[in-house]
Structure 1
Amino acid sequence: MDIAAEQRLVRRGAATAFLLTSAVCAASVVFLPQLIPMPGGLAERLAFGVQAGVPHLLCLVVAIRLVSKGRYESAADIGGAAAGPPSPVLAVKAAFLQNTIEQAFVGVWCQLVLASVADGAVLALLPASGLLFAVGRVLFYRRYAGGAGARALGMAMTVLPSLACLGAAGVLATVRLFGW
């Protein structure tokens, strides 16, 4: 493997994801509040944050199902994780599940942190984050076998919206803390 070439592909995928994520997040903040009212009170904002986490949960359910079905249909894997290492086919599904668990946990918490400190148009980042998470997970899984460069777009589209939510929350919390 030419690691330098693979790293270039990873950077290209991450840069593409950054541009797409930035465009979707910006468009959401500008246009979504004109289409649906953003919640005002803390309880309503937190509920909105939880609801925006539904795509994360759905992706997690799909990943669990992929592993379950893979185990059920494979003589090498039906014994479960304790019976030995997974077959090559199941290994990809198990890796996808593990990564989805990690990303969903971080993503939903970043959304809830933003929901706890934001109000108004910034809350439109929450549904944008859920949408981008789901698209990122599909791209990540479908391109997994192609290597790090192939799955970089999906991975970055999964994590960047979470970082956008966390970054926005950090800015808002800092502004409030210092009264700017």
Structure 2
Amino acid sequence: MNTKTSGKLRPGAPVDLAVQRRGLFKMAGLGVLVCFVGLFAGYLLLPRYFNFPEALTDRFVFWARLQVFLLIWVAVGVGAVSRGRRRSAQDIRGSAYGPPSPRLAIRIAFLQNSLEQALLASGAYLALITVLAAPALSLLVSATVIFGIGRVTFFLGYERGAPGRGFGFVLTVLPTLLGYAWAIFLIVRELWIA
């Protein structure tokens, strides 16, 4: 199977770095656009239909509940790796007995990346709930939905290399990075004004 016609990369097959990078930047750009549209739409629409907490203790409860929607992707990754091991003669003995099959390696990469991204997002959300209140908390709901879409598209595109992963990766990480930047700005501003 030719990687040019199938779009999928094979282990050990040569990779055209320039093509991969062009595709990555194109898909990452699309991810940035979708991310900003999603955050903006959520900020405008969600407060019309839902009440977001004002009191700090209520905001901590809100944060704790959002964790379910982040960590579910880690659980999905754990389940995917477990199912992959059970269905493969090469993998069923476990990671201590040899390298994973290519199919399982993708699931392991998804699990590892999901764990990293969920941890980073959780920290950003925690910082933000200390400096934001309603209706700005709607952005965290939007970010969480975008995170989920990012995880799905990252996994589905993984076999197509960097361009296949790029869109999902940007959707997953960009709201988190924006969250950290915004939290740092608000914390510094609060300290500066005080």
Matched ranges for 1:23-172 at <5 A? 23-172=37-186
Q: Kindly state the Cα deviation for residue 177 of structure 1 after the two structures are TM-superposed.
A: 1.4
**If each structure's helix is expressed as a fraction of its own residues, which one has the higher value?**
1
Structure 1 residue ranges (4+ consecutive) displaced by more than 3 angstroms after TM superposition: none
Q: Equivalents in 2 of 1:28, 1:151: separation in Å?
A: 24
Q: Equivalents in 1 of 2:184, 2:44: separation in Å?
A: 20
Q: Which stretch has the larger CA shift, 104-113 or 44-53? A: 44-53
TM-score norm. by structure 2 comes to 0.88
Q: Kindly state the Cα deviation for residue 175 of structure 1 after the two structures are TM-superposed.
A: 2.0
Question: Aligned residue for 1:5?
Answer: 19
Q: Kindly state the Cα deviation for residue 28 of structure 1 after the two structures are TM-superposed.
A: 1.5
TM-score norm. by structure 1 comes to 0.95
> SS where residue 139 of structure 2 aligns?
helix
Structure with the greater alpha carbon radius of gyration: 2
Per-residue Cα deviation, 1:128-177 (whole angstroms, up to 9, x for no partner): 11101110000000010000011100011010111122122122212211
Q: CA RMSD in A?
A: 1.3
> SS where residue 22 of structure 2 aligns?
helix
Question: Aligned residue for 2:31?
Answer: 17
Q: Equivalents in 2 of 1:164, 1:49: separation in Å?
A: 17
Equivalent pairs: percent with the same residue? 36
Q: Kindly state the Cα deviation for residue 13 of structure 1 after the two structures are TM-superposed.
A: 1.3
